[in-house]
Structure 1
Amino acid sequence: MYPIAKSIGIIIKDDKILLEEQDGKHSKGIGLYYRPIGGTIEFGEKSSETIIREYKEEIAVDILLKGYISCLENIFRIDGSIGHEVIQIYLVEFKNVAQYQKESFKVVEGSKITYAKWISKKDIIEGKKIIYPNGLHELLLKKKGLFS
């Protein structure tokens, strides 16, 4: 098996970050966890194109790329199975500024429906919310101006 190439986009509003809330098994246990909107890079697609497509598919909004943040390599284990992702991370913004007024967004991935919500940076910094991929919390703390 090979690592999966992914792309995620970070949107920040005031003291909050837009994250999809999921409930289930994850590498730190069972329960609620959060992740930025994004997904798998398709063959022949650039990671920057992936994030634009994923926002359109998952929450039906158009975004603009503000900049490249970094790349993370996430190796994790759930129920004895190893997962391996290489993730390109972008800072993005809504094309339509009215989107920032919404409290939540319905996330549709096939037959699965979840919601993306504005989560307090403080809750993430203090570890009150579990955020994935592994290493994203530390990366955002290091990036001056993004998460301080």
Structure 2
Amino acid sequence: MKPRATSLGIIMKENKILLEKQNKKHSKGNGIFYRPLGGTIELGERSRDTLVREFKEEIDADIEVKSYLACLENIYQVDGQVGHEITQLYSAGFTEKQLYEVEQFKVTEPGKKSVALWVPLETLWNEEFILYPEGVKEEVRKIVGACEEGERR
């Protein structure tokens, strides 16, 4: 496999984060895991534009990219195959506020069936909760910490 560049978006409401729920083989076994919405950056496409395009394609939602969070590098193995993903991670928000009231989104992608749903942050911190790529939990902790710091001021 060749390295893959991706762009993923973190959308939050209250004490929840929007994540895609998948059920298949992954680097920690076989079964359920979660990941922020987004996808592969196409040649000549900026990562911010990828994020906007992927949300439109996957859940038919328009978003605004709010801020750049981090670059995550994830090297993993599934069935003895090495994968290498470099991810541009952003904070984003829906342009249509009523989308924050939708409990579950059907994710449309060729050859894959999944849903995106609002996951409570306390669930995210559970040791058994599998979230990819590595490093996303730490970035969400930073966002939550910054929000809590702002509330104390």
TM interval, shorter chain, is: over 0.9
Aligned to 1:47: 47
Contact 1:19-1:119 within 8 A present in 2 as well: yes
TM-superposed deviation, 1:24? 1.1
Tell me the TM-score normalised to structure 2 length. 0.91
SS at match of 1:83: strand
What is the match of residue 68 of structure 1? 68
d(CA) in 2 for partners of 1:111 and 1:147?
Answer: 40
Q: Does 1:104 align with 2:104?
A: yes
TM-score (norm: length of structure 1): 0.94
1:115 is displaced (CA, Å) by 0.5
Partner of 1:134: 134
- Deviation of the 1:140 alpha carbon: 2.2
* 1:75/1:83 contact within 8 Å kept: yes
Q: Once the two structures are superposed, what CA deviation does each residue of 1:83-117 show, in whole Å capped at 9, x if it has no partner?
A: 00100000000000000000000001113221000
Identify if the C-alpha distance between structure 1 residues 7 and 146 changes in structure 2 by more than 3 Å, giving closer, same or farther. farther
Instruction: Give, in angstroms, the shift of residue 135 of structure 1.
Output: 1.9
Shift of residue 59, structure 1, vs aligned partner = 0.3
Q: Does 1:5 align with 2:5?
A: yes
The answer to whether the Cα contact below 8 Å between 1:5 and 1:85 also exists between their aligned partners in 2 is yes
Aligned residues: 148
**2:2·2:83 contact (CA, 8 Å) conserved in 1?**
no
Contact 1:140–1:146 (Cα < 8 Å) also in 2? no
Counterparts in 2 of 1:120 and 1:130: CA distance versus 1, 3 Å: same
5+ long unaligned stretches in structure 1: none
**What is the CA-CA distance between 1:146 and the residue it aligns to?**
6.0
Deviation at 1:139, TM superposition (A): 2.8
**Please, what is the CA RMSD of the aligned residues?**
1.6
Unaligned runs of 5+ in 2: none
Q: Map of 1:79-94 to 2, 5 A cutoff? A: 79-94=79-94
Q: Which amino acid aligns with 2:146?
A: G
Distance 2:140 2:101 in 1: 23
Q: Residue 9 of structure 1: SS of its match in structure 2?
A: strand
1:63–1:92: 8 Å Cα contact kept in structure 2? yes
1:50-101 Cα deviation digits (max 9, x unpaired): 0000000000000001111010000001110000010000000000000000
Identity of aligned residues (%): 47
Shift of 1:31: 1.0
